[in-house]
Each structure stands twice: as structure tokens, then as C-alpha cells.
Amino acid sequence: MTLLKNRLVIALLSAALGAVGWLVAENLIPERKDLQEPLPHRLAAADPQFARSMAALFGSSVLPGNRLETLVNGNAIFPAMLQALRGATQTITFETYIYWRGDIADQFAEVLAQKAREGVSVKVLLDWVGSIPMEEMLVERMQTSGVEVVRFRPVSWRSIDKVNNRTHRKLVVVDGRIGFTGGVGIGDEWNGDARTRAEWRDTHYRVEGPVVAEFQAAFAEHWLEATGELLMGDRFFPAIAAAGDSAAQVVASSTNQRSVMHLMLMSALSAAKTKIRLGTPYFVPDETTRRQLLAARARGVEIDILMPGELTDARLVRRASRHFWGELLEAGIRIHEFEPTMYHCKLVVVDEAWASVGSTNIDDRALRLNDEVNLNAFDPAFAREQIAVFENDLKRARPYTLAQWQARSLWDKLSDWLASLLRSQI
């Protein structure tokens, strides 16, 4: 009888461990994408049908009447964000992956706490993983003042099926009328003007106009999941008049439709006629993305890709990325490595007609695992502004050549290959 009981216990334990292993594997292995082949070039980015198709396919309308302001580096970004927060009279909604420590983190905590003391509804949603380095005293200061601070998807047995699906969104909405998005996290690494390796290079965007309601809707989706509270009414969704001349769209990926960002990016790349510019801190393209870029190059599209060089916060990602550069370089795609500091911008510009900015990197984690938000601008003037910023960054970057790639040491080639095997998770 004892032997039978022991075997039963072992069988039950084995079944439990197997179930846990299955859950972990299902969560860690990215879902298969809907798109398995590169898209053909049917519509140009400047074609009105391209905007209508993007609106129909990716979940939100292309809304006219927006004002999009480009903020380059922390010296411009943080003062603009703090000024908008200080001007709040009704609501502040704030979602971010990274909220770390230091002077900038302290400044934001103090302003948010002050607005809550003034009676403003302040809701802060922090990714549980991304905010681990945050000083708990900052959370306590905000909560004591009335700020609602919530950690998104805390790791527990109940949430093991979503442990690898983080919010990487970076959103601030003030009074439902002023929005911010881009690449910046709340930490001193982003402060300054990218003059030294201690001052990261990044771009953020201040937005006014009807499209801000789409930012608020993206926040509300996650706030509902995290708290059970549905945000409604004029305080969060006021009537918004036109504020500028830009037509824009917000695309948000979420746990149940993570392939939306991948499909959106492939659609945009397929629309290029003359030029594609990609700026990303983490470039580990899957096969479909590589083939989409190669197809564009084959029809004569010039392609420049800008990413960090030696000064990166993710050396493993750089190695995994480099493993795939050979066929791109052979096709004439130009790769540039930013030299002065960590390059953290997220930018896609197609021709001089369309640009996408926000939180999304070009890797499996962003395109298949994380929840992201991007702002798509169907505005040649905005696209040209981003091109000018991109070209200015290229002046501070070093081209990486096919000869360099071929001349890598045997150790570098092996290390790059091994790192590439982890590309679905890094």
C-alpha cells in the first residue's frame, strides 16, 4: 500500500510539473504570426488608399486635426512632460515600462503627488518587471498623496500564462487632451542631450488633437485589466477640437492580438517606393521582416537602419542582431551604429509620406510578446521632420560594412549565432 501511495504521489507531482512546464513553454514561445510571407508592393505610402487600409486593418481611424511636436533628448522631453503634468486640472493617466530611480524619477513622483493633493485624479500604471529597480519610497510618496499606483501583471501563479507579456507602452495623457509617447523611460539615463555616454539618445512626442483619445483608450484597456475600473466620461474623454494639421492613427498591440504591430510594420515597408529609414535600439528581425526589407531593396528602395554601436545596454541583443546582417548588407541595405551613447529611438519613416513612432522595437519581443503603442502619422511635413532628426543622428554614427561583417573572428561569429538562438526572448 505504501509503495502504491508513493507511486501515486510521484505521478501527481509529475503531472503537476508537466502542466507547469507546458504553461511556461506556451508563454515563453511567441505565438505564430498571421503573416508568413512578405507583402507585395501594391499601395504607395502617399496613396490615400494606404491610409484607409491602415485604418481599417489596425484598429483605429486616421484622425485629422492633430499637432505633433518632436522632443529630442531629455533636456527637451522632461521639461515638456513636467510642464503638462503641472497644468493638469482634471486627470492624469500615466503608463510606462521603465520607472527607475534618480533625480528624474524623483521629480516625476513629486509632481504627480502634488497634483493628487490638489484633487486631480492621478492614475499610474507601471509594468511589474520594468519597474523592479524603482525605489519603493517613490511609490509610497505618491500613494500617500492619493496617487493610484498599480503594478501591471505582477508575477504570480495565477498570472503565469502572461508572465512574459509585459506592457512596454509609454503613455502620458493630461486632462484627456495632451498626450505623450515615444521611447523615453523615467530615469536619469535619459536626461541631458546625448553629449556623453551617460546621456542616452531618445525622442519623445507631445500630441494634441483628436488622436489623444486613442492614447487614453489604450491606457484604459490596461487599467481595466489591472484594476477592474472602466474609465468613462468627460474627465477622461472630453470632446477634442482640432489642434493642428496632421492626420494620425494610434495602433496598440495587446495580449490577444500581438501580431498587429508586425502586420502594421510589414504593411508600411511594403508601401515604400523610394526610401525606408529605421531607427531602433533593438534590431533582431525575424525571417519575414528580413524578407520584407530585401523585397523592398530588390525593387530599388534605399534602406538605412540606425541602431546602437558598442555603447549599448544589451550586448546580447547586438550579437543576435549582427548574426542576420550579412544578407541585408549584401543587398545594399545600409547599417549604421550610433557612437556617442546608447541610441534608444524608435522610428520608421517610409518615403517622405509616413512615419511611425512610439514604444515598438524591431524584434520578436516587441512584435510578438509585449503590449505596445505606436503613433502613425500620415503627414509629409512630420515625416520630413523625422528624416531631418534621423539624418542628424547619422552624422554621429559609423557605417558597418559587409567587409567588417565577413571579417568577424570565429569567436564573434559563434557568439553571434548562439545569441541569435535566443532571439524570441531578448
**pLDDT one-digit tens code per residue, 236-279:** 999 999 999 999 999 999 876 768 999 999 999 999 999 999 99
Any catalytic annotation for residue 286?
no
From the candidates 346, 363, 379, 416, give the one annotated as an active-site residue.
Answer: 346
Pairing label, strands 171-174, 91-96: antiparallel
Beta bridge partners of 303: 276
Any catalytic annotation for residue 262?
no
- What amino acid occupies position 423? R
Please compute the mean of the pLDDT values over residues 100-124 and round it to a whole number: 97
From the candidates 127, 286, 304, 351, give the one annotated as an active-site residue.
Answer: 351
From the candidates 175, 304, 379, 416, give the one annotated as an active-site residue.
Answer: 175
**Cell numbers placing 113:** 503627488
Please compute the mean of the pLDDT values over residues 124-146 and round it to a whole number: 95
pLDDT of 178: 98
Sign of the Cα pseudo-torsion (170, 53, 391, 416, in order): positive
- What amino acid occupies position 212? V
Place 184 in a pLDDT band, splitting at 50, 70 and 90: very high
The two most distant CA atoms of the chain are separated, in Å, by 80
Angstrom distance (rounded) from CA 52 to CA 71: 28
**Structural contact between residues 138 and 131, judged by C-beta atoms closer than 8 angstroms:** no
* Residues 6 or more apart whose Cβ sits within 8 Å of residue 19: none
Any catalytic annotation for residue 170?
yes
From the candidates 344, 363, 371, 416, give the one annotated as an active-site residue.
Answer: 344
DSSP sequence for 148-205: EEEEES--SGGGGGGTT--B---EEEETTTEEEEES--BSGGG-S-S-STTS-B-EEE
Question: Measured between alpha carbons, how far apart are the two ends of the chain, in Å?
Answer: 49
**Structural contact between residues 216 and 176, judged by C-beta atoms closer than 8 angstroms:** yes
Stretch among 4-13, 214-223, 412-421 having the lowest mean pLDDT: 4-13
Query: How far from chain centre, in Å, is Cα 203?
Result: 12
Any catalytic annotation for residue 162?
no
**Structural contact between residues 348 and 374, judged by C-beta atoms closer than 8 angstroms:** no
For residue 222, give the nearest of 251, 177, 258, 253 by alpha carbon: 253
Q: What is the pTM of this model?
A: 0.90
**Cell numbers placing 89:** 486640472
State whether residue 94 is helix, strand or coil: strand
